[in-house]
Amino acid sequence: MKNTTRCPMCAQGFADRTDLRVHLMCDHRKSSLTEELLETIEARDDSRARRERPAVPVGDS
């Protein structure tokens, strides 16, 4: 069996997304999944905001 999909919580490999879905629903708590998802979204949004924020010239306030 070739592992093509990895669990984002524990890196266990799965042959397809259905197996991963069952694993997530049975082996990981919803609160842990929610925290992980929100942290990922926050990190992505923070990174995007830093790239899009105009630079403030030195000496200006």
Strand-pair partners of 14: 5
**Looking at the predicted structure, is the pLDDT value of residue 45 above 70?**
yes
Q: What is the pLDDT of residues 21-37, one digit of tens each?
A: 899 989 988 888 889 88
pTM of the model: 0.54
pLDDT over 70, % of the chain: 82
The pLDDT, as a whole number, for residue 60 is: 55
The two structure tokens encoding residue 6: 């990895």
Phi, psi of 51 (to 5 degrees): -70, -35
- Chain CA centroid to CA 57, Å: 34
Phi-psi region at 18: left, alpha or beta (left = phi > 0; alpha = psi -120 to 50): alpha
